[in-house]
Copies of this chain bind each other. A is one copy, B any other.
């Protein structure tokens, strides 16, 4: 392992910056707002035996993610009595819900549902490896508990985690039976716990879950049940394959990111943890899967999961716009996977993808006021869209029946500091440029930056180092003629790589990185049938989109000619990130009225129109109108 994340407290992000504002809203509104909702919708009450309703199978995981957000925010953003009280309350609830032998799932413990289907939960332990989400929920709880201890905020949670490990060791350890969870997550959690506590059993269990994952780890009785009652398995019915659970073949034989996008990406995160812990047999398979995900199956926003059916990955180059799923959790998982890979190797592409998905597909998942969420983040919306209205909305919802995404966004924003950089003895690696202070490689760096809107970043050394420290700076792939100076002396650098500056640093040393930002038109690979003849617009790390709010209805009717200059206008737009303007074309207004012929032998007449692009990250914050990322090149 090349580097690891610094403690959260070692990164302080300036509150007035772009990301700082998002983090402030996360702390002041999102995290407290979610606590209120967890109280109101039953997740916290469900941790007690007298909860009068029926518990959802995943509810404990929402609690786990929320305490992870809370402890992370307390560590990185400082004390807050309300957040701390919430974390302690939930953690006490989880301790109380845990059974004598360490088992923890409130639904299985208290909701005996003898008539439940296999799909909705049988109410019994370890009966449905594919859909019970038992280890998934325990994984999120363990991660939440780790966040407390990792940041020196108390070690009481570790006892709960440790008892779960004791139980798993008995059930699934060397003396137990092979097992894996249909929704990966436990693998990441156990590697994290093992790094924290040094308990080798946790890492061994995680390795087992990764290594057994696939057809050989299937329980014959479950397989038979699945085949007998396919009607209980929406996902199985849609796919007729085990790809949904990444179980058609062992991970080491997999060639693509397949099936349910979040499950697939969480499994890759866990397997990457295993690789980082020394298992080189996973390097080649993970590289193949990454390659398929990033180079053939990723939306231009960094979203993953082409199809609503099974919330899953499509085939290569199959990237619908209106119907794209692109679950917020999948983009968060992609960011976390990319960040893990950077701990292995400073590949420019890993950093570019981390940046892309955080700035676009992840941020799209939460409103500017921090109080509502997208579950799905498509690249176009239209009111005639026919998808399931629970998960597809043109405006964000305050909560969901399956509320996985909201607390996932909250913990991710709270952990932004550890996603942005990494460190080891004599190493300070900057993956994202956030304004603030960073303690990396033993010394404190101050970063000032105009990103994501302006390309100048200045890194100033505030303390001298006694030994050489290698500073590694990511040069994004989207910039074309970047320059780097160290105390005014230019250095040759290449976009899409990391630049290394090795020296013994003296307080006041100043590194200036200029990343010129031009507006770029992105053309999808010719095999992407959904985007033939269209372009997406990128400026720096941001992907841009058109909204009905600025253009009226019928956005598909707009075109951006190849020769139309696109200009950046700072300060405007829903979040003040600026807008892009261009003179495009559209059908003359009268031809857009209903009443004309449905099919005409003459093309509709066109006229010039002012186009206003806003950052994709902030779509849907003004109205529920249409939105489009991909725009036709020609009239």
Q: Is A10 an interface residue (CB 8 A)?
A: no
In the complex, the answer to whether A554 meets B526 with C-beta atoms within 8 Å is yes
Mask of A304-331 contacts with B, CB within 8 angstroms, 1/0: 0001010000111110000000000000
Q: A532-B632, A556-B532 are in contact. Are A525 and B598 (CB under 8 A)?
A: yes
Within 8 A of B (CB), among A212-257: 238
**Chain A 520-558 near chain B by CB (<8 Å), digits 1 or 0:** 111111111110110010000000000000000011110
Given A529-B382, A529-B556, A556-B529, also A295-B521 (CB < 8 A): no
Whether B599 contacts A522 by the Cβ 8 Å rule is yes
Distance of A527 Cα from B529 Cα, bound (Å) = 21
Q: Which of A594-610 contact B (CB under 8 A)?
A: 594-604
How distant is the Cα of A600 from the Cα of B538 in the complex, in angstroms? Answer: 11
Closest CB in chain B relative to A382 CB, distance in Å = 6
Residue A562 is within 8 A (CB to CB) of chain B in the complex: yes
Q: In the complex, what distance in Å separates the CA atom of A298 from the CA atom of B598?
A: 8
Give bound CA distance, A525 to B596, whole Å. Answer: 7
B604 in contact with A523 (CB, 8 Å): yes
The listed residue (B591, B597, B603) touching A562 by CB distance below 8 A is: B603
A547 to chain B, nearest CB (A): 15
Chain B neighbourhood of A602, CB < 8 A = 523
Interface pair B598/A526, CB less than 8 Å apart: no
Task: Give the complex CA separation of A530 and B322 in angstroms.
Answer: 11
Residue of B nearest to A518 (CB): B601
A386 in contact (CB, < 8 A): yes
Complex CA gap A527/B382 in Å reads 12
Q: Which A504-523 residues sit within 8 Å CB-CB of chain B?
A: 520-523
| Cα(A632)–Cα(B603), bound, Å | 12
Evaluate whether A526 and B592 lie within 8 angstroms (CB atoms) in the complex, with A384-B314, A384-B318, A533-B559 already known.
yes
Chain B residue at minimal CB-CB distance from A599: B522
Q: Which residue of B lies closest to A534 (CB)?
A: B533
Is A633 in the interface zone, CB < 8 Å from B? yes
Instruction: Report yes or no: B522 in contact with A601, Cβ–Cβ below 8 A.
Output: yes
Contact of A567 with B by CB under 8 A:
no
Check A300 for interface membership: any CB of B closer than 8 A: yes
Contact mask A288-303 → B, CB, 8 Å, 1/0?
A: 0000001110101000
Are A315 and B384 in contact, with the CB atoms below 8 A? yes
Q: A156 interface residue, CB < 8 Å from B?
A: no
Cβ-based interface call for A587 (8 A): yes
Q: Which chain B residues lie closer than 8 Å to A525 at the CB level?
A: 596-600, 604
- How many copies of the shown chain assemble into the complex? 2
**Minimum C-beta distance from A231 to chain B (A):** 11
**A634 close to chain B: CB less than 8 A:** yes
Task: Determine the chain B residues whose CB is within 8 A of the CB of A635 once the complex forms.
Answer: 533, 634
| A562 CA to B604 CA, complexed, in Å | 13
Q: Which residue of B lies closest to A312 (CB)?
A: B386
- Among A294, A384, A524, A559, the most chain B Cβ lie within 10 Å of the Cβ of A384
Contacts of A309 in B (CB 8 A): 386
| The residue from B520, B530, B557, B595 contacting A532, defined by CB atoms under 8 A apart | B557
Distance between A594 CB and nearest chain B CB, rounded to angstroms? 7
Give Cα A603–Cα B534 distance, bound, in whole angstroms: 10
Given contacts A533-B533, A533-B559, A557-B532, contact A597 B295 (CB under 8 A): yes
Determine if A557 and B529 form an interchain contact, defined as CB atoms under 8 angstroms apart: yes
Shortest C-beta distance, A611 to chain B (Å), equals: 15
- Interchain CB contact under 8 A, A523 and B557: no
> Bound state CA distance, A524 and B598, in angstroms?
6
**Interface contact B600-A522, CB-CB below 8 Å:** yes
Residues of the B chain whose Cβ atoms lie less than 8 Å from the Cβ of A634: 533, 633-635
Query: Closest chain B residue to A602 by CB distance?
Result: B523
Tell me whether B520 and A601 are in contact (CB under 8 A): yes
B598:A294 contact, CB within 8 angstroms: yes
Rounded to whole angstroms, the CA-CA distance of A316 and B592 in the bound complex is 12
Query: A317 to chain B: which residues have CB within 8 Å?
Result: 594, 598
| Shortest CB distance A476–B (Å) | 13
| In the bound complex, CA of A604 to CA of B598 (Å) | 32
- How would residues 603 to 635 of chain A score, 1 for a CB under 8 Å from any chain B CB and 0 otherwise? 110000000000000000000000000001111
Minimum distance in angstroms from A479 CB to a CB of chain B: 12
Taking a contact as CB atoms under 8 Å apart, the answer to whether B386 and A307 are in contact is yes
Report A597 CB to chain B, min CB distance, Å.
Answer: 7
Q: How far is the CA of A536 from the CA of B598 in the complex (A)?
A: 12
Task: With CB as the reference atom, state the residue of chain B lying closest to A309.
Answer: B386
17 A-B contacts, Cβ less than 8 Å apart? A294-B598, A295-B597, A298-B598, A309-B386, A315-B384, A316-B594, A318-B384, A521-B601, A523-B602, A525-B598, A526-B587, A533-B634, A533-B635, A536-B599, A562-B603, A603-B633, A634-B635
- A-side residues, CB < 8 A to B, are 238, 294-296, 298, 300, 307, 309, 314-318, 382-384, 386, 520-530, 532-533, 536, 554-557, 559, 562, 587, 591-592, 594-604, 632-635
Give 16 new A-B contacts, CB below 8 A, not counting A527-B594, A530-B556: A295-B598, A296-B594, A315-B383, A382-B529, A522-B600, A523-B599, A523-B603, A525-B600, A525-B604, A526-B591, A526-B604, A527-B592, A529-B556, A532-B557, A633-B634, A634-B634
